[in-house]
Amino acid sequence: MKFDTPATNNPIDQLKVIGQPISRIDGPLKTTGTAPYAYDRNDVVANQAYGYILGAGIAKGRITSFNLSAAKAYPGVITIVTHQNAGKLSKGKYNTAFLLGGPEIQHYHQAIAIVVAETFEQARAAAHLIQVKYERTKGYYDLDSQRSKSIPKDDMGMPGDSAVGNFDAAFLASSIKMDATYSTSHESHSMMEPHATIAAWDGGQLTLWTSNQMIDWAVGDMAKTLGIPKEKVRVISPYIGGGFGGKLFLRSDALMAALASKAAQRPVKVTLQRALIPNNTTHRSATIQRIRIGAEKDGLITAIGHESWSGNLPDGGPEAGAFQTRSLYAGANRMTSNRLSNLDLPEANAMRAPNEASGLAALEVAMDEMAEKLGMDPIEFRIKNDTQVVPDSPSKSEPAKLKSKKSEDKEQHPPFSLRQLVKCFQVGSEHFGWNKRKAKPGERREGRWLIGLGVASAYRDNVVTKSAARVRLDKRGYLTVETDMTDIGTGSYTIIAQTAAEMMGVPLAKVNVRLGDSNFPVSSGSGGQWGGNSSTSGVYAACVKLREAIAQKANFPIGDAVFADEKISNKSQSLTLAELAGNQGIAAEDMIEFSGLDKKYKQSTFGAHFVEVAVDAYTGETRIRRMLAVCAAGRILNPKTAHSQVIGAMTMGVGAALMESLEVDKRYGYFVNHDLAGYEIPVHADIPHQEVIFLEETDPVSSPMKAKGVGELGICGVAAAVSNAVYNATGVRVRDYPVTLDKLI
């Protein structure tokens, strides 16, 4: 099904099942420990051996020799794979570094060997007996010192730089100016379930039980890396204990398990030990961001400039902190630049709301600083500069395809399909009690605690991507939906079941959803907050086809057929779906393809974050007291799962604001605090109170579901709202994240 004109009324609009706060179908499995995660799958294949990965002990250089003899002689050891016996490997499309290093080492803890043994303990003990000699070469590990060597870098099909009008002249001429530089830290996804894989070969056929957000990417990259056809690789990943972008791509657990299994000639299971993950896998790059805003005294922005620097290995992409500044606020003169420096740290890549999470952490503090200079309320200042069209020049910033031939005006400034940012602030300030905020910082005190309120805009683009599904009706009237979509803890099982139930008029209990298997039709996968809307649209398309097939079998014109109560009916008669299905059943498969609309309109999601903090006047300790997010993100398919997504993202935003930071050893080029003991993330006691309000919205431009992404919107702007609240409490402006107590005193 092509989606190329705005959605009209369709069966989803009945909202009998869609839009209901249904609890997650996989919830009981996960909370009782019975959901079969990759590493737990002792049942799927017999005779599993254990693999243990050894990570490189240097960040850059080469291996000059391996001494494996002690490891090989260790009890229970079956085989050891290194670059010397792995055979020829290619780099996958989505990897920046090779997943198996050697002799060249590209980053610290890059996998260099896997030991296979009868038990995990034997494999681990033997791995520690491997002796490696290295020749270290000079690497670069400090973003700030490499900034001068940065270049503008495209990302996600968007150019690194953009310019409209004359920023420099307008900034110089503006009555009120702000110019400040901010920094964000390297961050680690810290998902609960570590990367893990069981690999088994059957002749030339490889099967992987693994934990991966994007099944088809994993299949493609495994095939490419090993140099075998895609058809020879099957990836199975029905349950995933969190990903946050860290499992978008094939990682070393999967490749090393595949190589080890081939060498050992038996199935091998591998999990990345927690202390290997931050340096072996991917992280969110630190950024340095300079923001300049010029405005007139009435608060109208006349010039806005945002430069963002980040670092990555050669071939890697930037953390493009300036992207949202092209679309969020009005202003005739604009300049953005996303610059990238080569660093020899581990690979930087997507982590929840890549680009915007970091970009808004800086921009939304800059907006707070500017509002103060203008003597304006920070919400008023944002509302004053709202825009219903993309203010940046599409030819320079957004995809060139946005250009429409119709009118000059449209060509320059494509409209947002739907933008209710102002309403988010209005609803939120009323609900949160924003009027209690004292404009002057440091004015509200309760005993030893200084109290402050902060806000920030949330903004994240809504990406849509093709997605296929298969739906089958059986003789008992049950529906089975199959798609390679993943559920990373987000609720995919549930919203997909809701979609099929709504479309076919069957109860939710009679819908069976099967996900995460490359034998199923290729879906959008889970990433970039595109999964919920795109994958349910694919299920919608398949259900439209199934409705047609059933109507045809019933000999009803599809135009006046109604699907409800497990029946197909028209004015004169009714037939049960079960009897029509017969012994054979009826099946249909289709794919939603988005063509055109996503280019005519700018599709984005919006929100407003409100935070109250208390800061200890003596120690500088910051405690979050209350958080509120108001979100405008299209139709909410399931308010319960969406709420969980947003509060999870808000929690992650508190981490970025107050504690999360991978600390770099600038001499040796590695993240020092590379485990959950040293890398601090929020716990329950850090998050006492959260609320989420979803604005009533349906966006007919986004999909037949009229929904949008929301899983990443929730983190966007949170760090700035916290930081602004800390400023309001204390009068201390911290521009370097995380806002730890040492920076407040």
Q: Does 528 bind ligand MOS (CB under 6 A)?
A: yes
174/358 with CB nearer ligand MOS: 358
Residue 714 amino acid letter: G
Per the omega criterion (within 30 degrees of 0), is the bond before 28 cis?
A: no
Q: Classify strands 131-136 and 287-295 as parallel, antiparallel or unpaired.
A: unpaired
37/244 with CB nearer ligand MOS: 244
Q: Does 248 bind ligand MOS (CB under 6 A)?
A: yes
Closest to 325 (Cα-Cα) out of 379, 398, 376: 398
Q: State how far the Cα of 104 lies from the Cα of 578, in Å rounded to an integer.
A: 61
Q: Does 642 bind ligand MOS (CB under 6 A)?
A: no
Site string for ligand MOS, 162-201 (x = CB under 6 A): ----------------------------------------
Q: Classify strands 511-514 and 479-482 as parallel, antiparallel or unpaired.
A: parallel
CB of 243 to ligand MOS, least distance (A): 6
Q: State how far the Cα of 397 lies from the Cα of 158, in Å rounded to an integer.
A: 6
CB of 244 to ligand MOS, least distance (A): 6
| Half-sphere CA count of 6, side-chain side, radius 13 A | 9
391/527 with CB nearer ligand MOS: 527
248/719 with CB nearer ligand MOS: 248
CB of 677 to ligand MOS, least distance (A): 24
Site string for ligand MOS, 438-477 (x = CB under 6 A): ----------------------------------------
Q: Does 491 bind ligand MOS (CB under 6 A)?
A: no
Backbone phi, psi, residue 190, to 5°: 50, 40
187/377 with CB nearer ligand MOS: 187
Helix, coil or strand: residue 438: coil
Active site residues: 712
Angle at 714 (CA atoms; ends 710, 717), nearest 5 degrees: 130
Strands (E), 653-727: 664-665, 670-671, 690-694
* 619: its two tokens: 């120690």
Identify the residue among 213, 281, 498, 644 touching ligand MOS (CB under 6 A). 213
266/352 with CB nearer ligand MOS: 352
238/305 with CB nearer ligand MOS: 238
Residue 440 amino acid letter: K
Contact 708, 633 (CB under 8 A): yes
Per the omega criterion (within 30 degrees of 0), is the bond before 738 cis?
A: yes
Tokens 């947002």 correspond to 416
244/540 with CB nearer ligand MOS: 244
Question: What torsion, rounded to 10 degrees, do the Cα atoms 647, 652, 657, 659 define?
Answer: 130
CB of 660 to ligand MOS, least distance (A): 15
Angle at 711 (CA atoms; ends 708, 714), nearest 5 degrees: 105
Closest to 25 (Cα-Cα) out of 496, 470, 479: 496
Per the omega criterion (within 30 degrees of 0), is the bond before 11 cis?
A: no
Strands (E), 544-697: 562-564, 567-569, 574-576, 586-594, 604-616, 622-632, 664-665, 670-671, 690-694
User: What single DSSP character describes residue 709?
Assistant: -
* 119: its two tokens: 């038990």
CB of 525 to ligand MOS, least distance (A): 9
CB of 247 to ligand MOS, least distance (A): 8
> Of all residues in this chain, which one has the CB nearest to ligand MOS in the complex?
245
Q: Considering only residues 341-360, where is the footprint of ligand MOS by CB under 6 A?
A: 350-352, 354
* 400: its two tokens: 């060139």
Contact 128, 68 (CB under 8 A): no
Backbone phi, psi, residue 217, to 5°: -65, -40
Q: Does 394 bind ligand MOS (CB under 6 A)?
A: no
**# residues near ligand MOS by CB under 6 A:** 11
DSSP string, 277-341: HHHHS-BBPPEEEEEEEEE-TTS-EEEEEEEEEEEESTTPPP--TTGGGGTSS--SEEEEEEEEE
* 327: its two tokens: 């679309």
528/704 with CB nearer ligand MOS: 528
212/661 with CB nearer ligand MOS: 212
Site string for ligand MOS, 227-246 (x = CB under 6 A): ----------------xxx-
Sequence-separated (6 or more) residues with CB below 8 Å from residue 688: 624, 625, 626
CB of 524 to ligand MOS, least distance (A): 11
CB of 346 to ligand MOS, least distance (A): 16
Q: At what angle do helices 639-658 and 718-730 cross, to 10 degrees?
A: 50
248/345 with CB nearer ligand MOS: 248
122/486 with CB nearer ligand MOS: 486
Tokens 């992207």 correspond to 323
Closest to 363 (Cα-Cα) out of 397, 403, 336: 336
CB of 227 to ligand MOS, least distance (A): 28
CB of 196 to ligand MOS, least distance (A): 18
Q: State how far the Cα of 623 lies from the Cα of 729, in Å rounded to an integer.
A: 11
Q: Which residues bind ligand MOS (CB under 6 A)?
A: 213, 243-245, 248, 350-352, 354, 527-528
